[in-house]
Amino acid sequence: MADKIATREAYGNALAEFGAKYDIVVLDADLSEATKTCVFKKQFPDRFFDCGIAEGNMMAVAAGIAATGKIPFASSFAMFAAGRAFEQIRNSIGYPHLNVKIGATHAGISVGEDGATHQCNEDIALMRTIPGMTVISPADGTEARAAVEAAILHDGPVYLRFGRYAVPYLYDESTYKFELGRGIKLAEGSDVTIVATGLMVHLALEAKELLKAEGISAEVINIHTIKPLDTELLAASASKTGAVVTAEEHNVIGGLGGAVCEALAGICPVPVLRVGVEDTFGRSGKVPALLELYGLTAANIAAKAKAAVSMKRK
Amino acid sequence: MEQAKLALLTEKAREIRLGAVKAVYSAASGHPGGSLSIADILSYLYFSEMNVDPKDPKKADRDRLVLSKGHTAPALYAALAARGYFEKELLSTFRQADSILQGHPDMKHIPGVDMTTGSLGLGFSAANGMALSAKISGDSYRVYAILGDGETEEGQIWEAAMFGAHYKLDNLMAFVDFNGLQIDGKITEVMNPTPLDEKFAAFGWNVLTIDAHDFDQIEAACRAARECKGKPTAVIAKSIKGRGVSFMENEVGWHGKAPNKEQYEKAVAELSV
């Protein structure tokens, strides 16, 4: 097994794998080579339907398919799924709570060279405000695969957020267990809690090491399900450490950071600092350069963690 | 058409019109004009054409109807009540906070509603999805959609039209309620979507044009749609907005306005035999 894989790649593989086990239908909007639904298409051509470059229609077609009892996966880039087709998702899928799975790839800044029009840093915010919508953002290939099966087994609309850029494997498929709505504590710590999602999870683990060298003990939590949020785990950790840093490849407004602040403000108010795209648009560039440019780094997580620790009530 | 059948369909269309006007009057809100223009099509679909069972509204092999022009829910609800999905008395609770009868069709709570609609353009796509689903699993049910003529100004209608022709959804039939009026005025003056027959034909559909208030023509169109293989059918159904209530006919002001007590009583008198 390679030591790295893009979660979109794991998504395509998972669709093909689970296509043999479950009666799923896969839709795409002329991006199957990029979203990797082409892997499913190759194996199950009679259950794959290209909708052309018409994402709004695709989402409502998916709603119609779900209304007849099948489980459709509607795939496109996050920008055109959550962004372009927001209202179709809200009114035709969310409101009637139909069993549609939205496979949104190329989320966040790590789209890279295509630049701002294709870098969706708003999708978590958009999707989690839809009542009844489950929002999942896997951290690695293993988690992405498991999330696809969990989405199939969950009755209701699910938004799955995948990345274009290869990320290291964090989990072993033979031991990994995905529980919808349950965060995963990756490391115990006592001074600060780092809550991360998606591509930022492995950087959070790096940040923990940086902090350790400075004598700060960080707890690391992977939140793969942003909605419903594991508030129990978050509150328990926050009350123990007294300070929180969130990390996501998304606008600092409305995403994981927003969700964590909303949750903790009511049940365990502690300082929360957010690492993410600072309310700005992206730009073209190589992914490592962009992650550096927008502060999506282990060093920035560690710096924010130190700042959060210093804000704790003495 | 046999006299007995014609009499039944005429009577049911009258019931639908009465129920729709009653619902809008009770709510003091809603859309009577476009409800009255589709009453005859709904009567034909629910009392002749569609394989449905009010006692088993979710049965898997039923034919489906998507009211893509969801604002004319009063007519759909009145048709469902007439067909026996729920009590007619419920119509007077339309749009009330304690009623299941939402301002626009809600499939989660209203027996007989096959798709949640209201935001224009979305329902037609969903109808395409249902028809595709039947093709995937080899089911024999048919899918019917009712679109507004103004609704065809939505770009998504044409995305869906492309899709239906591309996947040869000959189990899909769409009526365009061509009453010529939308909220801001005549469709040809607000944003002209015509010629709709040529547009649907250019998108690869089997196209028919009928009088929306003539049951023989509705029947012939449904038969032609069933017989047409390899293409979905679009029916440009030329209608009169407000049909059946003299002072509402062809008056754009009755698109989304409720009658007062006096107007309601006049409407009821005209619709009563």
The per-residue pLDDT for range B232-268, each reduced to its tens digit, is: 999 999 999 999 999 999 999 999 999 999 999 999 9
Find, among A154, A200, A32, A46, the residue nearest to A103 by Cα. Answer: A32
The interface predicted TM-score of the complex, written ipTM, equals 0.97
Question: In terms of DSSP bridges, do strands B172-178 and B181-182 run parallel, antiparallel, or are they unpaired?
Answer: unpaired
Compute the average pLDDT of residues A147-166: 98
Q: What is the sign, positive or negative, of the torsion defined by CA atoms of A300, A304, A309, A310?
A: positive
Compute the average pLDDT of residues A225-243: 98
Radius of gyration of chain A (CA): 19
Please check whether residue B179 touches A, CB under 8 A: no
CATH number of A4-168: 3.40.50.970
Q: What does the domain layout of chain A look like in residue ranges?
A: 4-168, 184-309
Please check whether residue B163 touches A, CB under 8 A: yes
Q: Do A67 and B121 touch (CB under 8 A)?
A: no
Find, among A72, A152, A88, A98, the residue nearest to A126 by Cα. Answer: A88
Measure the CA–CA gap between B13 and B3, rounded to whole angstroms: 15
Token output for A208: 């923990």
Q: Do A25 and B136 touch (CB under 8 A)?
A: yes
Token output for A278: 């600072």
Q: What does the domain layout of chain B look like in residue ranges?
A: 3-271
Q: Do B129 and A91 touch (CB under 8 A)?
A: no
Q: Do the Cβ atoms of B114 and A92 come closer than 8 Å?
A: no
Compute the average pLDDT of residues A16-24: 97
Q: Provide the pLDDT for residue B273.
A: 74
Contact list in A for residue B167 (CB cut-off 8 A) is 49
| Overall size of chain A counted in residues | 314
According to the CATH classification, is domain A184-309 in 3.60.10.10? no
Compute the average pLDDT of residues B8-26: 98
Token output for A141: 């290939």
Pairs of CB atoms within 8 A across A/B: 109
Q: Do A51 and B130 touch (CB under 8 A)?
A: no
Measure the CA–CA gap between B70 and A182, rounded to whole angstroms: 39
Please check whether residue B132 touches A, CB under 8 A: yes
Q: 3-class SS at A106?
A: coil
Measure the CA–CA gap between B108 and B116, rounded to whole angstroms: 8
Radius of gyration of chain B (CA): 17
Measure the CA–CA gap between B16 and B77, rounded to whole angstroms: 8
A4-168 and A184-309: same fold?
yes
**pLDDT of B141 higher than 70:** yes
Q: Provide the pLDDT for residue A314.
A: 63
- Answer yes or no: A219 catalytic: no
Q: 3-class SS at B211?
A: strand
Average pLDDT, chain A: 97
Which residues on neighbouring strands pair with residue B122, listed in sequence order? none
Find, among B217, B179, B235, the residue nearest to B34 by Cα. Answer: B179
According to the CATH classification, is domain B3-271 in 3.40.50.970? yes
Confidence band of B7 (pLDDT split at 50, 70, 90): very high
The per-residue pLDDT for range B24-65, each reduced to its tens digit, is: 999 999 999 999 999 999 999 999 999 999 999 999 999 999
Q: Provide the pLDDT for residue A1.
A: 61
